[in-house]
Structure 1
Amino acid sequence: QHTNRETNCNFVLWYEDDRTILVNHVEYDHNYSALNPNVCKAPKWIYLTSLSSHSPIYEKNLVEYLDAEPKVKLVFQPGTYQINRGIDDLEPITKHADVLVLNLEEAQSLLRIHEKDVKKLLHEISIHGPKIVLITDGTNGSYMFDGDHCYHMPIFPDPRKAFERTGCGDAFASTFVSLLSIGRTPLEALSLAPINAMSVAQFVGAHEGLLSLDQIDWLNQKAPVEYRPREI
């Protein structure tokens, strides 16, 4: 907690089934003691996502921590400020990333190119070190490169038209990583993560609609035969 500081303030502009989020990050005095191996036990995973424009010092501390704790796995889902710096500036982080998650427009912005071929984007990002690259593309589904093969996964069939998509990408990414953390394979995670994204899109906001693992597995068992990853 910080005294005499404002909280971060975000506005979500909702139109039909899509949204734009206006973000304001307040600069805080950060405590990096948790990134000291002598202070706390190392976690199995670290999930690094959207940070303010003042994040480079935090990233530097994180890289030093990961160098000291090579067993810790890193998920990187960069935010706008990080993406705007470009892939080369973020390479100290991407080299440590076990999973890197972006949507299509973010991938293009990160690489500073207008390439629409997702397979080329996956390969270009992988050059900078992440073991698994995930790119989501709205209703066109999601894509994964695991270092050897590229896959496309369609969206899970919606029971009804999507209502509001805030949190869909986060639901997809966090579900994918959660499944890896309990021993599911990347292909299994790619198959199941869109189910949670579909469910969140049926409600307003990023929390309502999130499913348990049992619910996700149950829905997957009822999925049509064409709902499966295909190598591209």
Structure 2
Amino acid sequence: MRYDVVTVGNALFDILFTLKDHDEFYTLNQNDQTLRIKIGEKISAQTVTLSTGGGACRIGIALSRLGAKTAVFAAVGQDALAQSIVSVLVEENVETSHIQRTLPTTSLAMGLSCQSERTLFTHHAEGQPDFDFTGVATAWVYLAALGGEWEKGHEQVLRYVKANNLKLAFNPGASQFAKGTKSFLPTLAQTDILFVNKQEAGRIVEKKIDNIGALLKALQELGPKQVVITDGKSGSFGIDTERSMYKLPIMDEPVVEKTGAGDAYAAGVLFALINNQPLPVAMQWGTVLAASVVSKIGGHHGLLSASELEEMVKKPSLPQIEPLHT
């Protein structure tokens, strides 16, 4: 089977509780970025959203909605949560035959959303799948966050990418950062496009660089051919293969809930690259898709089809790319 993109990473069952903006039992302090909750209270959520999470699944679903052929490589348990994850992927026309049911339990994420800000509690099941890419043809591999004994998984992905001259998109996660940049330098060296937020970018270069252009260059020097940094309300920044740098503001759209924004942005960028668009255009597509996702509760509800994305990028409100100088 041939795919446009194969995604590799964690698969999680997501539970998101959306709280009322104000309640006597909790306080959200935007100044020090804390959510204080009274111990022992039963707090009523305004809404509860159940969804399939993990970067590999979210990217697979987002690209499938856009019309790309995708397959997910991940591991889950043998429980009801695992069946729910697989069922959602099947409904979204994502290939699931490479999902292994070898973990003791299925990984889980529980989120609290209040005033459009989100706090996550996660549990990653121990263990790591043994990826077998035999007979799998694709042009791109998207390597998302991997937990457990992730080094073996990275080695298998890199061998597959190198042997078949594939393009690699990479978004490191908490387990990678916990072991330091040196542990995933081989992955960075083979990366065609790196997706990180500003905080993650600083952790990779392992030094404080305030200038975003200098930060992009420092990341590119570690091996990635192209780099994109997202920075919340400040927008996104990119550097391409010619070392030209760009900045792009966010769309002026209402934000309801931020789950899946980063994955939606990466999916939009990757879909543009699949369609041979340059990085500046790809950043616009990513920004549009992310804006659509954060306008709804949950990481999937705001995803777009290719025709919907095409209409969105024609809007006068589409942010315009600007050159970035150090």
TM over 0.5: yes
Picking from 149, 155, 163, the partner of 1:68 is 163
1:212 has 2:305 as partner: yes
Correspondence list, 1:162-173, <5 A: 162-173=255-266
Structure 1 residue 114: Cα displacement: 2.9
Identity of aligned pairs, percent?
28
Q: Do 2:128 and 2:147's aligned partners in 1 also have CA atoms closer than 8 Å?
A: no
Runs of 4+ in 1 over 6 A off after TM superposition: none
- Give the number of equivalent residue pairs: 224
Whether the 8 Å CA contact 1:18–1:166 is kept in 2: the answer is no
Give 1:29 deviation, angstroms.
4.8
Aligned residue for 1:90, secondary structure, equals: helix
Retained in 2: the 8 A contact 1:164–1:205?
yes
SS at match of 1:40: coil
**Is 1:57 paired with 2:152?**
yes
**Residues 34-183 of structure 1: pairs in structure 2 closer than 5 A:** 34=133, 39-70=134-165, 72-147=166-241, 148-158=243-253, 161-183=254-276
- Where does the alignment leave 5 or more consecutive residues of structure 1 unmatched? none
Name stretches of at least 5 consecutive residues in structure 2 with no aligned partner. 1-99
Asked if the contact 2:103–2:125 (Cα under 8 Å) also holds between the matched residues in 1, the reply is: no
Aligned-pair RMSD on alpha carbons? 1.7
Letter in 1 for 2:298: G
If each structure's strand is expressed as a fraction of its own residues, which one has the higher value? 2
Indicate the larger mover: 106-115 or 138-147.
106-115
Identify if the C-alpha distance between structure 1 residues 214 and 14 changes in structure 2 by more than 3 Å, giving closer, same or farther.
same
The two structures have a TM-score, normalised by structure 2, of 0.65
SS, match of residue 43 in structure 1:
strand
| TM-score (ref. length: structure 1) | 0.90
1:8 aligns to what? 107
SS of 2:119 mapped into structure 1: strand
| Deviation per residue, 1:43-72 (Å, 9 max, x gap) | 1110100110410011112222222122x1
**Aligned: 1:223 with 2:322:** no
Counterpart amino acid of residue 150 in structure 1:
M
Match of 2:285 in 1: 192
| 2:227–2:238 CA contact under 8 A, matched in 1 | yes
User: In the TM superposition, what is the alpha-carbon distance from 1:193 to its structure 2 partner?
Assistant: 1.2
CA distance in 2, matches of 1:85, 1:183: 35
**1:126, CA displacement in angstroms?**
0.4
Residue 28 of structure 1 corresponds to 127
Could you say if the C-alpha distance between residues 40 and 107 of structure 1 is closer, same or farther in structure 2, counting changes exceeding 3 Å?
A: same
